[in-house]
Structure 1
């Protein structure tokens, strides 16, 4: 949300990233004082980052996926309870007995330019995302489609993809293996349709400006002033336009929480996220609420070029050498909890009905003494006493504070380590991670669909989001088996996923988990029916209203 994260987003502290948001709360509203009515029919929001891309094949972050989720529509979208409900798909799909062939009927719907939405819009968009020339980071999320991986790696031609427009309103999809969460998977942004004729005409400009894209969702992107604001307005051509209550959604790019609070107090912002220093002040406000998300934040430890981070003892030392509660309770102060894991708590349940975390263990908990022991082993193995690492970080207020805290903790507890911080705007940071041009990086991940795999397959060898050079053949086998041969053996599949996380963290310390995010919000009393999601995009505004 999306991933990224994602996303997620998407990703990141007080902002939307490759992360996905949490919960199904659609009625958490309260009085902030004063008038409880709103004269216009406009929802005013803020965001810490600009939209990196409005091309669904290229989007990787929460800001992009949130905007796409509200301006575009795939075969399905999520309802207030995170269930997949009909979007462009009309009626129940026809599914073969072996679960590998799905046939969808496309409803009568239009693009914002008046063109009909067709089955070919899906075939075209999905083939585009899998085309190696597109270089889509999220192409791997489509690997359940027949021949998708071979096409994406250049071994087969796109014509061999198991996706075919039988006619204008019939889409046939063939899978490599039956996928129990396939409907929810189709909600994800990479599976959105694109109008082939329009996209081809726009060429490289597609999705870079408000007027170089067309939309089939509840809203259209009407205005986009980069690094300043973007505006969505109701799409009159949307098939379910009668259900859309808002006329417009204004989103202002704001990197400072004090500015957010000022906008909220003056009623120029209707929903804001609070950073830690404002939580105590506003937590008794009736408009205050928190959302526990399924997003986990961690340190990426780049093993491709840095000799120190290639050493497993050094990675374990870094992972255990900082106080996680100091971050969640002292800096964030928003309900976030320390994470000694990667797959989040209260996210997904196994075949036995138990939460994944009740079955899996805890790994890399804060332990300064163990961290120092591992650090001494690493220094001895590398024959050096002093090391310098650069921490890649975001440029918003909360991220800055977390980065400074990590620097202080690591330098204090690991003798001879110097940490320099490199703060970057969102898009530039993502680019540096993609190029693996960093030492270690503060990042986060929100789930793209309802399964532990949305976290764990990130770290397959050479995976698109494995942006740190991690590789373990045993881990790869467990993940690949869970994607294929174990799909019809849910208990064994669950065991494989639990074991994979143990290898990733306990054995290899590939990443350093920090916390599972909650967010603190203030919402104006006249704002109703914003849907918060556990996976995929953070928000749905289709049913939102301001009255």
Structure 2
């Protein structure tokens, strides 16, 4: 073995040891369920999982990423939560009544407590929801989607946040007024942006609220008892949770593991119970009894800065779409169950009133040969007054993002002469901030559905919307979204949504969809009832357990 190879092996080993020690894997708290027993010979109810990124924030009014949503879903409780079959069930709401036209909803709250012993009240919901609108939360559009009265006017700065249609009638009664009847309301209320907050505690913490485990209150199945940034966090069962009898796990250790090789090593040494596999590991483990692939309704795509002098050209964006062999990306590079996608709404999850899949109805957009891509690219460059373009791609510093970015770099530079792509990898939270500031050329992005309806992929492109993040605007799209939000004829509404996607991709080629995400996982078969949701927060640990 050469000196260079020995040095590389030593560095990998040192990094692995540092991760183990930094995350306290060798402590009694980090013991895996495999081969361990708790009291009276029963399996230890301690689950160990890996996460690819740290939590950016646990402030439910500011959270806008899958990692935070999963944590919030397990440490807090709203009016509704998703059950084992991904359907909304009453959580803190014990009774839900409406007026005749279903525009006024009244919720009666059950007895429950915050982790500081104070009761959870209707005022906690009113305060948190109005705070979402007051502070221009990244997910304030959810209140518009839910049709809550005055939400859109508040977003447009036409009304004050205090005029939002939510009111604490008394400690146990919450009244929510809508602009119009909305059949999606209960599903939307499972989303973390609709969680309550204790006003006195939030204001006492000030700008430190929800940045550390001790700076947040809990009222859900678990409490967060430790959070070491960029290393991991620990949940413990919340004995004061109203439905504590349903919670079987005593603790969950979540470890930030960005390197897939390290993840495999941790699984093989019984330090974690569930990991996502990289493409390099799929062939090795695909016959393992604990191996599985999951096709998810998540979209992986390229955002373009529409202010860029060259990328702002539609033909250039079309050329980028066409120049990428997406099937090879999913089948040869990723190999994790992901599938190529040429639309913004994924396949297999959203059906029309007639039972037809959204993707089948609208077909593929911006597909073509490399030669067609090159022709469009040349025309686009000429229209932009350029002869070549050097662009950077903003990515998270994870293995999968780096692998995808390197593939895109090779494809675009080979298939579009004059295109040079530079890769800029940053921590996950920083990537999101760069996107929000639109300080990028191209950004490798992902979007998981917030609720079970195609609109969750379509209204994110509204002018000035917090999910837009690229200064894209088409007034026709905005108008169609507004119409679809109040349309009660389901067939007409579905046609509107099909046309919204056509505007985004056919008329404007505003983004470049790449693939529908899939996950290749290893999870020990002793882990039971760990619920993976296709929409909203990804995981529910409330019903999970470990068998002997």
What TM-score do the two structures reach when normalised by structure 2?
Answer: 0.91
Of the structure 1 ranges 198-207 and 407-416, higher mean CA displacement relative to structure 2 is found in 198-207
Give the aligned partner of residue 59 of structure 2: 55
Q: For 1:328 and 1:448, locate their aligned partners in 2 and report how far apart those are by CA, in whole Å.
A: 24
Give the aligned partner of residue 139 of structure 1: 140
Kindly state the Cα deviation for residue 155 of structure 1 after the two structures are TM-superposed.
2.2
3-state DSSP class of the match of 1:464?
coil
Give the aligned partner of residue 304 of structure 2: 301
Structure index of larger Rg: 2
| 2:86 maps to 1:82 | yes
3-state DSSP class of the match of 2:407?
helix
Aligned counterpart for 2:443 among listed residues 441, 444, 447 = 441
Matches within 5 A, 1:54-453: 54-91=58-95, 93-131=96-134, 134-143=135-144, 144-304=147-307, 306-365=308-367, 367-453=369-455
Give the aligned partner of residue 489 of structure 1: 489
Deviations 1:213-237 (A, max 9, x none): 0011000110001111111111111
Gap runs ≥5 in structure 1: 1-31
Q: For 2:201 and 2:158, locate their aligned partners in 1 and report how far apart those are by CA, in whole Å.
A: 29
Kindly state the Cα deviation for residue 379 of structure 1 after the two structures are TM-superposed.
1.9
Is the CA contact 1:361–1:502 (under 8 Å) kept in the aligned structure 2?
Answer: no
Kindly state the Cα deviation for residue 366 of structure 1 after the two structures are TM-superposed.
5.1
Kindly state the Cα deviation for residue 353 of structure 1 after the two structures are TM-superposed.
2.0
Deviations 1:341-362 (A, max 9, x none): 1011112222212221222221
Task: Supply the RMSD in Å over aligned alpha carbons.
Answer: 1.5
Is the CA contact 1:323–1:366 (under 8 Å) kept in the aligned structure 2?
Answer: no
Deviations 1:274-307 (A, max 9, x none): 1111111111111111111100100001102x11
3-state DSSP class of the match of 2:207?
helix
Q: For 2:451 and 2:412, locate their aligned partners in 1 and report how far apart those are by CA, in whole Å.
A: 34
Deviations 1:319-367 (A, max 9, x none): 1111001110111101110001101111222221222122222112353
Is the CA contact 1:294–1:344 (under 8 Å) kept in the aligned structure 2?
Answer: yes
Q: For 1:505 and 1:262, locate their aligned partners in 2 and report how far apart those are by CA, in whole Å.
A: 42
Is the CA contact 2:34–2:270 (under 8 Å) kept in the aligned structure 1?
Answer: no
Is the CA contact 1:272–1:521 (under 8 Å) kept in the aligned structure 2?
Answer: yes
Deviations 1:147-198 (A, max 9, x none): 1122233322233211011111111100112111110000111001111111
Runs of 4+ with deviation above 4 angstroms: 32-39
Q: For 1:283 and 1:370, locate their aligned partners in 2 and report how far apart those are by CA, in whole Å.
A: 38
Is the CA contact 1:290–1:519 (under 8 Å) kept in the aligned structure 2?
Answer: yes
Gap runs ≥5 in structure 2: 1-31
Q: For 1:508 and 1:273, locate their aligned partners in 2 and report how far apart those are by CA, in whole Å.
A: 35
Is the CA contact 1:336–1:517 (under 8 Å) kept in the aligned structure 2?
Answer: yes
Q: For 1:212 and 1:500, locate their aligned partners in 2 and report how far apart those are by CA, in whole Å.
A: 41
Is the CA contact 1:37–1:526 (under 8 Å) kept in the aligned structure 2?
Answer: no
Q: For 2:461 and 2:262, locate their aligned partners in 1 and report how far apart those are by CA, in whole Å.
A: 38
Change (3 A) 1:478 1:427: same
Q: For 1:384 and 1:308, locate their aligned partners in 2 and report how far apart those are by CA, in whole Å.
A: 7
Is the CA contact 1:531–1:539 (under 8 Å) kept in the aligned structure 2?
Answer: yes
Kindly state the Cα deviation for residue 37 of structure 1 after the two structures are TM-superposed.
6.6
Q: For 1:225 and 1:367, locate their aligned partners in 2 and report how far apart those are by CA, in whole Å.
A: 49
Q: For 2:384 and 2:449, locate their aligned partners in 1 and report how far apart those are by CA, in whole Å.
A: 37
Give the aligned partner of residue 475 of structure 2: 473
Report how many aligned residue pairs link the two structures.
510
Is the CA contact 2:530–2:544 (under 8 Å) kept in the aligned structure 1?
Answer: yes
Is the CA contact 1:324–1:366 (under 8 Å) kept in the aligned structure 2?
Answer: no
Q: For 1:329 and 1:118, locate their aligned partners in 2 and report how far apart those are by CA, in whole Å.
A: 51
Is the CA contact 2:97–2:106 (under 8 Å) kept in the aligned structure 1?
Answer: yes
Q: For 1:33 and 1:76, locate their aligned partners in 2 and report how far apart those are by CA, in whole Å.
A: 30
3-state DSSP class of the match of 1:137?
coil
| 2:546 maps to 1:541 | no
Give the aligned partner of residue 20 of structure 1: none
Is the CA contact 1:388–1:418 (under 8 Å) kept in the aligned structure 2?
Answer: yes
Change (3 A) 1:515 1:366: farther
Q: For 1:477 and 1:527, locate their aligned partners in 2 and report how far apart those are by CA, in whole Å.
A: 47
Kindly state the Cα deviation for residue 36 of structure 1 after the two structures are TM-superposed.
8.8
Q: For 2:428 and 2:384, locate their aligned partners in 1 and report how far apart those are by CA, in whole Å.
A: 34
Higher relative contact order (CA 8 A, sep 6+): 1
Is the CA contact 1:316–1:509 (under 8 Å) kept in the aligned structure 2?
Answer: yes
Is the CA contact 1:36–1:526 (under 8 Å) kept in the aligned structure 2?
Answer: no
Kindly state the Cα deviation for residue 382 of structure 1 after the two structures are TM-superposed.
2.3
Question: In proportion to residue count, which structure has more helix?
Answer: 2
Q: For 2:368 and 2:228, locate their aligned partners in 1 and report how far apart those are by CA, in whole Å.
A: 43
Is the CA contact 1:322–1:366 (under 8 Å) kept in the aligned structure 2?
Answer: no
Is the CA contact 1:364–1:513 (under 8 Å) kept in the aligned structure 2?
Answer: no
What TM-score do the two structures reach when normalised by structure 1?
Answer: 0.91
Q: For 1:170 and 1:351, locate their aligned partners in 2 and report how far apart those are by CA, in whole Å.
A: 35
Q: For 1:50 and 1:539, locate their aligned partners in 2 and report how far apart those are by CA, in whole Å.
A: 16
Deviations 1:373-410 (A, max 9, x none): 11111122123221101111111111111100000100
